[in-house]
Structure formats: structure tokens, C-alpha cells
Amino acid sequence: MKAFLKPSIIPAIIWAFILAFLMLLPSKAFPESKLFSYDKLAHIGVFMILAFLVGWGVLSIDNKKILSAKIYLSVFLITFLYSSTLEFLQYFVPGRMTDLYDFLANSLGGVLGLTVFYIFTQKKFAKLKLIL
């Protein structure tokens, strides 16, 4: 439990709260969603950021240079379950709906976020010491 109290995980927690607030706001009308709309790009982007931040927090907590495949899977599952929960909860919010394409965009964002995180944490990028 102490691991989640470390400062490195705080950006992921703040971002998760922001996502929950925005995704669960009631609304009277939303445009009908399509597979490749700007809405889907937004879903991909925000969950890409979430996966990156969770990966960064876990990397900092474990004090490792590179995460194992098991940890990457865990980070993806956290992002996936959080996304699934928010999509399910939207069913109960007036003006919102649960959308399979949003769910797929959220999942794709999680995968892309972990991919960017993996590339960013490789030795040649880690040498730059930009964030990590």
C-alpha cells in the first residue's frame, strides 16, 4: 500500500480523476459516434496519457530501469479495467451512453501509451533523463 503513496504515481491518479470527472459529466446531446471521429481520437489520446503515467509511476516505484512484460501487462490491465468501468458507468449518466467503439479506442490508447512508454524508457532515450 505504501507504493501508491509515492509521489511518482500522483500524476496518474490525478489524470484518472480528471478522466472520471469528464467522462461521467451528464450531457443533453452528443454527436453520434463513428469509428474514426475526433471523439475516438480524444479517447485514444487520454488513455494513452493514462497508460504512460501509470507506467511511469510503476517504474519509479519499482526503482527499475526497464519494466518486465508482467508489469506491462499489469499496467495495461489497470488501464483496460479503468476504461471499462468508466464506459459502463456512462450507461447510468443522463445524456451519455456506453459505446463499444469508445471502449476499443480507450483500449487502443492504453496499448499505444505503453508502446510510447516502452520506447521512451529504452536505454538510448533514458540517457536523456528527460522525465525519468
Q: Cα dist. 12→28, 58, 128 in Å?
A: 29, 10, 22
Per residue in 22-52, pLDDT tens?
A: 888 886 545 555 555 578 888 999 999 999 9
Q: Which residues contact 30 (CB under 8 A, 6 or more apart)?
A: 95, 96, 97
Q: Which residues contact 33 (CB under 8 A, 6 or more apart)?
A: 39, 40, 99, 101, 102
Task: Check residue 37 and give its pLDDT.
Answer: 59
The grid coordinates listed for 82 are 479503468
Helix, strand, coil proportions of the chain in percent (round to 5)?
Answer: 70, 0, 30
Per residue in 58-111, pLDDT tens?
A: 877 766 666 678 888 888 999 999 999 999 999 998 888 888 999 999 999 999
Radius of gyration of the chain (CA): 16
- Domain parsing of the chain, residue ranges: 47-132
